[in-house]
Amino acid sequence: MNTTPAFSELGSIVSVRGGIVDIRFETRVPPIYSLLRAGKDEKIVIEVLSQLDAHGVRGIALTPTQGLARGMSVRNTGGPLMAPVGSATLSRMFDVFGNAIDRGPVPENVQWRTVHRASPSLARLSTKAEIFETGIKVIDVLMPLERGGKAGLLGGAGVGKTILLTEMIHNVAGQHEGVSIFCGIGERCREGEELYRDMVAAGVLENMVMVFGQMNEPPGARFRVGHAALTMAEYFRDDEHRDVLLLVDNIFRFIQAGMEVSGLMGQMPSRLGYQPTMSTELAQLEERIANTDTGAITSIQAVYVPADDFTDPAAVHTFSHLSASIVLSRKRASEGLYPAIDPLQSSSKMATPSVIGHRHYQIAQEIRRTLAQYAELKDIIAMLGLEQLSPEDRNVVARARRLERFLTQPFFTTEQFTGIKGKLVSLKDALDGCERILRDEFHDLPERALYMIGTVDEVKKRTIRQVSGKAQAEESATHES
C-alpha cells in the first residue's frame, strides 16, 4: 500500500465465494471501504463493503482471488483505496490502484487521496452556461455541449461510440488548454493500447492522464476505476484551477460492475437484474462531475444501450444525469452517414436562444423541422415514389438529403481506414453551411458533392475539380480518336 498505516490489525479468512471474502477480526472490525491485503506478498486486495457482526466483515476482491484459503491471515491497511494525484500523473497510464501500467518509471512527487470523496456543495457550483465546442458539425449545431456539463454518446454495439469519443479527444485536446482524463471502464485492452498510440501520434499525451479497469478485471476493480479517475480530475479542478475534460468509456460497464458486485454480495436484484442501489451508485459518481468556482469538469461519456433498448433501466438512469444526449443510430450507420448521430432523437439543454443566440437556435430548429418532414415523407416515397410528391415536398426532401450529407464529416481518427483527411469545422462555418443549404443555394449540385466535406466552401472546389477532370478526360478521348 502507498500509505503506511499507523497500526496493523490482522484478521483471518472465514470463507471465499468467487470475489466475495468473509473475514473475522478478533479485536476491532475495520470501517466500511477499508482496504485489506492478503495472500502471497499481500497482492490480493479486498475492499470492505459490509459488517456482518461484531467480529465479521464481508468484502469484494479488487484482484483475482486465486490462492486464497480459509484461515489465511488478512491485514487491515487502516485506510480506503487511494489514487495518485498531481502534475506527475500527466502523460501516464494507471490502473485502479494507481500503479503505472505504461512500462514507465514509478511517478514521483504524487499525493495520494481517497477515491471516496463527496460531490461539491451547492454553494460551490457555478451557474454560468457556456458552450463547449467540439469541431464536429452535427454536435455543435444541433446538440451543443455544455462546459462543465455531462454529455452522453448513446448507442448499441458497433455504431461508433468509441470512434466519436477518440475524435473528440483529438479535436479538444489540441485546442483545449486544460487537462484530459480518459477513464476506460470494462472495455477492451486493445482499445486502451490503440488510444495510447493515437494520443502519442497526435502529440497531446503531455496534458492527458489515462486510467483503465479492463473487462478482464474483477467487478470490484471495474466498479472503482471511475472513482479513481474522478479523484485525479478533482485535483486539477480544485488545486490547480484548470478545466478538465473527463472522457468515460463506458458508463454502462460501471453499472454492470455494480450489478455483479451486488449479486455477489447477495442483494435481491430489482428490474431486469439490476442492483437495487443503481440510482444511488450512479449519482454518487455523476454528481462529482461539476462546474465549480475554481474550474470545470466537462464529461463526455459513452453509454452502451443493451439491445438498442432506450427503456432499459441503465439507459434511463444515465439519461437523468446528462445535459446533452447524442444518440447514435444503426440505420444511419448502415446508410454510410458518419458520424451516425440521429439528430431527431438527440437533444441538449443548451439549445435555447438565451444560451446559443437567436440565429443559431433558428437554424437548428429549421434543420430539425426539415429532417422531421423528410422522415414523415419516407413511407410515401417508399410506396409511391418521389415523383408523386408535391413540388414543395420534393424541395423539402432535396433540402433534407443535402443537410444529411453536409452533416457527415471525415474524422482524424479514421483517416487510416477511409483515406480521407480529417476535418475540424468551427461553429460559424457549420452554421453558415447549413443556412446556405436551407436557402437552396446548392440545389443545382448533386447530393454527393456535400458528402464527407468540412466547410461548405469545399463543395465549389470539389465541383471545379470534377468539371476540370471530366473536361480533361473528354479532351484526351478526342485526341485518341
For the chain, state the CA radius of gyration: 26
Q: Is 146 a catalytic residue?
A: no
> Are 199 and 208 in contact, with CB atoms under 8 Å apart?
yes
Instruction: Choose, from 187, 217, 286, 404, the residue flagged as catalytic.
Output: 187
Q: What is the DSSP letter of 100?
A: B
Residues 383-409 as b or e (16 or more Cβ within 10 Å = b): eeeeeebeeebeebbbbbebbbbbbbb
CB 87, CB 29: distance < 8 Å: no
Question: How far, in Å, CA of 167 to CA of 170, rounded?
Answer: 5
Peptide bond into 339 cis (omega under 30): yes
Q: How many CB atoms lie within 10 A of CB 91?
A: 17
Write the CB contacts of 83 (distance below 8 Å, at least 6 apart in sequence): 94, 98, 112, 113, 114, 115, 227, 228, 229, 231, 232
DSSP per residue over 186-218, as a string?
A: S--HHHHHHHHHHHHHHT-GGGEEEEEE-TTS-
Q: Are the CB atoms for 84 and 25 separated by under 8 Å?
A: no
Looking at this protein, which amino acid is placed at residue 160? G
The helix (run of H) or strand (run of E) holding residue 139 is: helix 137-142
Q: Which residues of 226-265 are buried (b: 16+ CB within 10 A; e: fewer)?
A: bbbbbbbbbbbbbeeebbbbbbbbbbbbbbbbbbbbbbbe
Catalytic residue among 161, 332, 399, 405: 161
CA pair distance 468, 465, nearest whole angstrom: 5
Identify the bridge partners of residue 297 per DSSP, sorted by sequence position: 244
* Residue 161 annotated as catalytic: yes
Residue in the structure block whose three cell numbers are 462543465:
148
Residues counted in the chain: 481
What span, in angstroms and rounded, lies between the C-alpha atoms of 462 and 474? Answer: 18
Grid coordinates belonging to 161: 461510440
> How far is 17 from 187, CA to CA, in rounded Å?
25
From 188, 330, 368, 401, the catalytic residue: 188
187 is catalytic: yes
- Taking the C-alpha atoms of residue 419 and residue 165, their distance in angstroms, rounded to an integer, is 20
Active site (catalytic) residues: 161, 187-188
